[in-house]
Chain A
Amino acid sequence: MAVIEMNRLLMIGVEQDRKAVLEKLHRIGCVQITNSDPEAFDALIDKFEHDKKTDQLDGFINDINRARNAVLPFDQRKKSIFEPKREISDYDFEEHLNREPEIFSAVRSINELLDQREEHRNEENRIISQRESLAPWLELDVNLDFKGTIKTTALMGVIPASVQPGELMDEVNESFRETVIQVISSDSLQHYIYIIAFSRDLEGVVRILRKHSFNQITFKDMHSSPLSIMEGYDRRLEEIKTKKVHIENELKKLASEIGDIELLYDFMLLEKQKLEQVSLLGRTEKTFVVEGWIPERHKRSLSKTFKTHTDLFIYFRRPEEDEAYPILLENGPLVKPFELITELFSLPNHKEFDVNPFMAPFYFIFFGLMLGDAGYGLILAAVTGVILFRFKITGTAKKLISMVFFGGISSFIWGVLFGSWFGDIAAQVSNGRFSIGPLWFNPLDDPMKLLIWSCIFGVVQLYAGMALSGYKLWLAGKKADAVIDIGLRYIYYTGLILMLASVKGAVYMTIFGAAGLVLTQGRHKRGAGKITGGILSLYDFVGFMSDVLSYSRLLALGLATSVVASVINTMGTLFGMNLLGIVVLVLVFAGGHVFNIAISTLGAYVHSSRLQYVEFFGKFYEGGGKPYKPFRYDTKYMMINNGGTNDDGILD
């Protein structure tokens, strides 16, 4: 339960060992490489070459990813929702990579198939849109590139549906008797017409047509009749269809490679990680420098790893006082899940202690109190318990799920104390004949009691926060300040609280505390500030009380859960205990309680977090630490078992 001690690492080696050293660092995965002066060696690094390699790797990664996603729907492996990374030994990983050329050719074939499929899709779309524009002309049995005879000209076009073709024809024939206008087809918007006129009349004919909003249409690159073109299209569409089926089958066949494709993807990721670290190394022409952070306890395994490298210089030192080292936390299994809450806020900085052991119990209690139902707690704990037990999840997801697991247990305990099992389900279903009584008291009967308890919980946590701020002062060597500032406030606040509870004699305690504060709190100020500073500190109690009242949300959210649950129960039992009633009951219960669990859990999470962040952390916590991110195997699909660090950055 602590912030893990870090050491500064310096390694100097000769250039020809660089690759091997980097590889070994990657493998043991306990060093975060940070260069104190990244620009110092810029001139010596071939930026162009480096960028080229990076781009090439990115290209590979993209290709592999595209291929993997394409065959994923045909993946035959058994899968569950929480698919863990596949475990593989170091040796097997290498073994599989011997097939790299074959895997790569599979990736290439898949990508080629995808390109073809894309082309086919485009062609299909093109044909479909051309078919649409050709459809009205199907009745026309003239080749589309027919422009007319020596003396005549042929035209195709459309006129709006509002124009009567017969009247138009009459109007044209009045001036140009030999002109033929034929309606090929009509739809709700326009008539599709074909016109043959003497070439000498053409200009006049077109002028009349234009008056009636005629639009000429030409088909480029189409030579035969609409019907035969259409038949050609249909044949082509059929062909494409078979080709697509063929592609699909090929993809299905290649899907058997998906395991190795994922493996290759991870390999490329690892290559890229190595490449990224290269730019962090210091270099001269013949040597290289690794600077970084390593947890104190991993020093020995690092030295052991590089035992055979005789011309490698390794040096460790403790961080200097103001040197901000990266933060790695270690906590027991009961506290670990709650690290998530702190991580989401801010990690402790290098001068602070780990706040999690102090925060976790409060979070556990408050989360459960806000959810406050035994049935809901059991369901949450059961669901998350099964997930934790059945699936190997790691990292943040594991913390989150374990946290909800503990929250469920806490909620169960509170639910038993309050007698809330899915609200008042027993009483509702049995029509009041049977109910599960509370072990302590039912907040619905006596909300004031729980309000007072909520405030007491608040006082306890706030006092703990004050104690920690005193502890910080103590650690910083200001022992007198710690005792005076925090101790006197304890006396003053407690006195006032006891006065509120009308305890006799509390007033003397208050006066003692207040006098002490007035005398001491201006001590760092000058002149009149010495007096006003002391008096003003008495007003801190107002801030303290507003913090305490903030804990009333414990009551409000706890009540919200159980009242909404009883609403659901009341609605569910509306139809009585006949067949229809029981069907309604089951449906309303299932839907309603799942909804209430979801919304209440969210509320419990949000508001317990807020109490930690604002009320508790606000008293003493600074945060701002940077997380420890070691250079290690960071893969997407495989868990490579290499004796390196696990997800928490700790050597197995």
Chain B
Amino acid sequence: MMEFLTSGNFLAILGAALAIIMAGVGSAKSVGLVGEAANGVVTEDPDKFGQALLLEALPGTQGIYGLLTGFLILNRIGIVGGTPVELTSQQGIMFLVAALPIAVVGLISAQAQGRAAAAGISLIAKRPQELAKAITFAAMVETYAVLALLGSILMVFGITI
């Protein structure tokens, strides 16, 4: 059992799973949060559906970034599209570590962005013409998820097999 747990392939898949799980959880929670706020506004004014949906979609990207990183890892180790590669434990740990930036930053930035977007919903409730500003505020948070994604991607590409 121990041998399996320290096998490179298991560790790499664990990394992929972590990226997908944590970033996905973060996005799910915050898309839900913004959705709740959006329901309130749409109750008053159904015409705001499109605008509210746009804001709701914003914190959803972290989940995609997580999936993307996970997919890249699986792709590199040949589980998806290609022939499976036998990894050493060191390589496995490197993949695991490479997944951490988007996993952790994705989880936390999604929630922070969710709160910013939910506040944006109340902004468009009163001033629908200021949608772009609400989006920009929420998008500022996403920068860090994008940077973490970039870090993860570069690491995943950089590990030599």
Residues of A within 8 A of B (CB): 344-345, 428, 447-448, 451, 549-550, 552-553, 555-557, 559-560, 563-564, 566-567, 570, 599, 602-603, 606-607, 609-610, 613-614
Contact of A570 with B80 at beta-carbon distance under 8 Å, contacts A451-B154, A556-B146 already known: yes
* CB atoms of A557 and B146 under 8 A apart: yes
- The answer to whether the Cβ of B136 comes within 8 Å of any Cβ in the partner chain is yes
Provide the bound-state CA to CA distance between A344 and B57, in Å: 19
- The answer to whether the Cβ of B132 comes within 8 Å of any Cβ in the partner chain is yes
Nearest A residue to B138, CB-CB: A606
CB distance from A623 to the nearest CB of B (A): 12
Nearest A residue to B81, CB-CB: A570
Q: List 8 A-B contacts (CB under 8 A).
A: A344-B131, A556-B153, A566-B81, A602-B57, A606-B142, A609-B132, A609-B135, A609-B136
User: Which residues of A lie under 8 Å from residue B5 when comparing CB positions?
Assistant: none
- The answer to whether the Cβ of B61 comes within 8 Å of any Cβ in the partner chain is yes
Closest 7 A-B residue pairs measured CB to CB?
Answer: A344-B132, A556-B150, A553-B146, A606-B139, A563-B68, A556-B146, A567-B71
| Main SS class of interface, A | helix
- The answer to whether the Cβ of B110 comes within 8 Å of any Cβ in the partner chain is no
* CB atoms of A564 and B64 under 8 A apart: yes
- Per-position 1/0 for B33-49, Cβ under 8 A of A: 00000000000000000
- The answer to whether the Cβ of B143 comes within 8 Å of any Cβ in the partner chain is yes
Provide the bound-state CA to CA distance between A428 and B81, in Å: 9
User: Which residues of B lie under 8 Å from residue A550 when comparing CB positions?
Assistant: 143
Q: Which of A553, A555, A560, A607 gathers most chain B CB within 10 Å?
A: A560
- The answer to whether the Cβ of B93 comes within 8 Å of any Cβ in the partner chain is no
User: Which residues of B lie under 8 Å from residue A451 when comparing CB positions?
Assistant: 150, 154
* CB atoms of A564 and B132 under 8 A apart: no
User: Which residues of A lie under 8 Å from residue B112 when comparing CB positions?
Assistant: none
- Per-position 1/0 for B53-80, Cβ under 8 A of A: 0100110110011011001100100001
* CB atoms of A559 and B146 under 8 A apart: no
User: Which residues of B lie under 8 Å from residue A563 when comparing CB positions?
Assistant: 68, 71-72
User: Which residues of B lie under 8 Å from residue A556 when comparing CB positions?
Assistant: 146-147, 149-150, 153
Provide the bound-state CA to CA distance between A563 and B75, in Å: 10
Question: Residue B150 contacts which of A344, A345, A555, A606 (CB distance < 8 angstroms)?
Answer: A555
* CB atoms of A599 and B68 under 8 A apart: no
Nearest B residue to A574, CB-CB: B80
Question: Residue B136 contacts which of A447, A560, A570, A610 (CB distance < 8 angstroms)?
Answer: A610
Q: Which of B58, B60, B81 gathers most chain A CB within 10 Å?
A: B81
User: Which residues of A lie under 8 Å from residue B131 when comparing CB positions?
Assistant: 344
Question: Residue B57 contacts which of A560, A599, A609 (CB distance < 8 angstroms)?
Answer: A599
Provide the bound-state CA to CA distance between A80 and B146, in Å: 39
Nearest A residue to B71, CB-CB: A567
Nearest B residue to A603, CB-CB: B61
Chain B interface residue count, CB cutoff 8 Å, equals: 30
Nearest A residue to B145, CB-CB: A556
Question: Residue B154 contacts which of A447, A557, A570, A610 (CB distance < 8 angstroms)?
Answer: A447
CB distance from A310 to the nearest CB of B (A): 43
Provide the bound-state CA to CA distance between A550 and B142, in Å: 12
CB distance from B21 to the nearest CB of A (A): 16
- The answer to whether the Cβ of B140 comes within 8 Å of any Cβ in the partner chain is yes
Provide the bound-state CA to CA distance between A606 and B55, in Å: 11
Contact of A448 with B154 at beta-carbon distance under 8 Å, contacts A567-B71, A570-B81, A607-B139 already known: yes
User: Which residues of A lie under 8 Å from residue B136 when comparing CB positions?
Assistant: 606, 609-610, 613
Name B75-117 residues within 8 Å CB distance of A. 75, 80-81
CB distance from B161 to the nearest CB of A (A): 15
Provide the bound-state CA to CA distance between A553 and B149, in Å: 9
Provide the bound-state CA to CA distance between A591 and B102, in Å: 26
Contact of A610 with B140 at beta-carbon distance under 8 Å, contacts A564-B67, A564-B68, A567-B67 already known: yes
User: Which residues of A lie under 8 Å from residue B135 when comparing CB positions?
Assistant: 606, 609
Question: Residue A607 contacts which of B57, B146, B150, B153 (CB distance < 8 angstroms)?
Answer: B146
Question: Residue A560 contacts which of B68, B143, B154, B157 (CB distance < 8 angstroms)?
Answer: B68
Provide the bound-state CA to CA distance between A606 and B137, in Å: 10
Provide the bound-state CA to CA distance between A603 and B65, in Å: 12
CB distance from A160 to the nearest CB of B (A): 39
User: Which residues of B lie under 8 Å from residue A614 when comparing CB positions?
Assistant: 140
Provide the bound-state CA to CA distance between A491 and B52, in Å: 46
Provide the bound-state CA to CA distance between A603 and B136, in Å: 11
Nearest B residue to A571, CB-CB: B80
Nearest A residue to B132, CB-CB: A344
Provide the bound-state CA to CA distance between A451 and B151, in Å: 11
Provide the bound-state CA to CA distance between A607 and B140, in Å: 9
CB distance from A166 to the nearest CB of B (A): 52
Nearest B residue to A549, CB-CB: B147
* CB atoms of B139 and A599 under 8 A apart: no
User: Which residues of B lie under 8 Å from residue A570 when comparing CB positions?
Assistant: 80-81
Nearest B residue to A567, CB-CB: B71
Nearest B residue to A396, CB-CB: B129
User: Which residues of A lie under 8 Å from residue B149 when comparing CB positions?
Assistant: 556, 560
Nearest B residue to A340, CB-CB: B132
Provide the bound-state CA to CA distance between A553 and B58, in Å: 15
* CB atoms of B150 and A552 under 8 A apart: yes
Contact of A610 with B57 at beta-carbon distance under 8 Å, contacts A344-B132, A447-B153, A560-B64 already known: no
- Per-position 1/0 for B117-161, Cβ under 8 A of A: 000000000000001110110011011001101100110010000
User: Which residues of A lie under 8 Å from residue B71 when comparing CB positions?
Assistant: 563, 566-567
User: Which residues of A lie under 8 Å from residue B140 when comparing CB positions?
Assistant: 610, 614
User: Which residues of A lie under 8 Å from residue B132 when comparing CB positions?
Assistant: 344-345, 609
User: Which residues of A lie under 8 Å from residue B146 when comparing CB positions?
Assistant: 552-553, 556-557, 607
CB distance from A552 to the nearest CB of B (A): 5
Provide the bound-state CA to CA distance between A451 and B157, in Å: 13
Nearest B residue to A598, CB-CB: B57
Provide the bound-state CA to CA distance between A614 and B136, in Å: 9
* CB atoms of B72 and A599 under 8 A apart: no
Nearest B residue to A341, CB-CB: B132
Provide the bound-state CA to CA distance between A549 and B72, in Å: 23
User: Which residues of B lie under 8 Å from residue A566 when comparing CB positions?
Assistant: 71, 75, 81
* CB atoms of A447 and B143 under 8 A apart: no
* CB atoms of A599 and B61 under 8 A apart: yes
Q: Given A553-B146, A556-B149, list of 8 further CB < 8 A pairs? A: A345-B132, A549-B147, A556-B150, A563-B71, A564-B68, A566-B81, A570-B81, A606-B139
